Amino acid sequence: MKLDGEIFLSEIRQKRVMDKRGHSLGTLMDLSVRAGESFPLVEGFLVARGKERFLLPWEEVEVLNRELLLCRSNEGNGYPPPPTEGIYAFRDLMDKQIVDINGAKVVRVNDVKVKEMKGELTIIAVDVGFRGLLRRMGVKRRLGRYWKGLVSSIPYRLIGWQYIQPLEPSINHLVLKLSKEQTVHLHPSELAEILTQIPAENQDALLDSMDIDKIADTIPEMDDKNQVALVERMTTEKAADILEAMSPDDAADILGDLSDKKAEEIIEEMEEEDAQEVKDLLQHEEDSAGGLMTTEYFAVTPFTTVAETFSQLRTELEDVETINDIYVIDEGERLMGSLTLRELFLRNGEDKVAQFMHRRLIFLTPESDGMEAARMMAKFNLLSLPVVDKEKRLLGIITVDDILEFLLPSVKKRKRF
């Protein structure tokens, strides 16, 4: 075995390359690598000797360790010049972006770890942590025996190459392989942050690992610029499927920012009911109550029993944004009252909601200002606020998260406000 154990590129870069007689052949500068079946394979070592550069094949190596590289030959002549094309570990992998699934963020490669496996030298992992950065800066070399004491409290942050997409001839970035099982555990805001930091071509690869509902939760967490760029690139069919899975207010916000042509194409492709809800919302100014509201709410008639309400909840739960408040409407969809889910649990199954609903109504009209909605929700400690028309027909509700996004535009995308 030529290499005992594992070693980092920064530990051997700029080390001496010796022939068997102890004569210096030059300085190790980089590793020439190619894609392997599972791991990238090191084909050879780029060696600098003055202004000359040559490639020392892995087959010619006798010993590799942290102090030197010893080759089999007694003289350093006859080695081929480095190829003009190809992949080099230091040149092409260092500082490249990669998704750290455990940290749910985009990080940079600080070092590369290699190991001999079945007679071949392979890249087995990349170091994205602070240890790797210190090692690359030469701190380990300068501190010597004091290195372990310095980094004892600094955790390793390695990403195994088996989790990284295969090497390509032209490398601008690295992207982690993400399965649906992995992405499902990430919060939409974490996925949105990752999407906004990786190149466009890899956004598509990440989206392919997510189901439609997860994408629908994630895109609204992105800023305007990235939302528009992402949706504009999508096929009309895929964009329509995703927007249908969103809450209508989020879908309307995104469509309002797209080009007229793309927005019209998507609306045309959407299911008729979903498309109509979105078109109704697009009629309102975005910073008005009508623009802030969602049409996904839960409502019952006054003579519905508690047991019937629970049964209806189980049926409609996936189609409503929040069930903190339950609204009571008549046959003409006019708002009559409200009750909370907690109050529902405290009543008998035969009780009708009209017996205990709150009849004092707090509501806004679609034209009301967003700041007025915020003041009312704060004053009355509301988690949702109904929006009605002139005949008091319930049009939608404003939820507390919509108000937070309105008041704190930097949280998501309403920077123009």
- pLDDT value, residue 413: 41
Res 411: pLDDT = 45
For 237, residues 6+ apart whose C-beta sits below 8 A from its C-beta are 269
pLDDT of residue 115: 92
Give the architecture-level CATH label for domain 187-283. Answer: Alpha Horseshoe (1.25)
pTM above 0.85, yes or no: no
pLDDT given for residue 232 in this prediction: 92
What is the distance, to the nearest Å, from the Cα of residue 375 to the centroid of all Cα atoms in its chain?
A: 33
Which own/partner pairs from 49-58 qualify as long-range (CB within 8 Å, at least 24 positions apart)? 49/25, 49/76, 50/26, 52/26, 53/29, 53/81, 53/82, 54/26, 54/79, 54/80, 54/81, 54/82, 55/79, 55/80, 55/81, 55/82, 55/83, 56/17, 56/25, 58/120, 58/121
Count the Cβ atoms, other than its own, within 10 Å of residue 324. 15
415: pLDDT strictly greater than 50:
no
Range with lowest mean pLDDT among 2-16, 139-153, 257-271: 139-153
Indicate the range of 168-172, 191-195, 319-323, 370-374 predicted with least confidence: 168-172
In CATH, 6-163 is 2.30.30.240? yes
| Alpha-carbon torsion angle 291, 292, 296, 297, nearest 10 | -120
138-147, 175-184, 197-206, 310-319: the lowest-pLDDT one? 175-184
Residue 166 predicted with pLDDT over 60? no
What residue spans in the chain does CATH classification 1.25.60.10 cover? 187-283
What is the mean predicted confidence (pLDDT) over 159-188?
65
User: Is 172 a residue whose pLDDT tops 60?
Assistant: no
Residue ranges matching CATH 2.30.30.240 in the chain: 6-163
25-29, 152-156, 323-327: segment of lowest average pLDDT: 152-156
Q: Between residues 138 and 174, which one has the greater pLDDT?
A: 138
Q: How many residues does the chain have?
A: 417
* CB-count burial class (<10 Å; 0-12, 13-18, 19+) for 315: exposed
pLDDT tens for residues 215-250? Answer: 999 999 888 888 999 999 999 999 999 999 998 888
Residues 6+ apart with CB under 8 A from 55: 32, 43, 44, 45, 46, 47, 79, 80, 81, 82, 83
pLDDT bracket for residue 140 (50, 70, 90) = confident
76: pLDDT strictly greater than 60:
no
Reported as half-sphere exposure (CB side, CA atoms, 13 A), residue 136 has a value of 18
Q: Which long-range contacts (CB under 8 A, 24 or more apart) does 3-6 make?
A: 3/64, 3/65, 3/114, 3/115, 3/116, 3/121, 4/65, 5/115, 6/113, 6/114, 6/115, 6/124
Categorize the per-residue pLDDT at 155 as very low, low, confident or very high, splitting at 50, 70 and 90. confident
pLDDT-derived band at 322 (thresholds 50, 70, 90) equals: confident
Name which CATH class applies to 299-411: alpha beta
CA distance 29 to 17: 10
Condensed to tens digits (0 to 9), the pLDDT of residues 352-389 reads 999 999 999 899 999 999 999 999 999 999 999 999 99
Q: What is the mean pLDDT of residues 327-348?
A: 93
- Beta partners for residue 358, in sequence order: 338
Per-residue model confidence (pLDDT) at position 224 = 84
Residue ranges of the chain that CATH labels 3.10.580.10: 299-411
Q: Which residues pair with 46 in a beta bridge?
A: 30, 55
Q: Share the mean pLDDT of the chain.
A: 85
Task: List Cβ<8 Å contacts ≥24 apart for 381-386.
Answer: 382/325, 383/322, 383/324, 383/325, 384/297, 384/322, 384/324, 384/325, 385/289, 386/297, 386/327, 386/335, 386/338, 386/361, 386/362
pLDDT digits (tens, 9 = 90+) for 80-106: 888 777 889 998 888 887 766 655 667
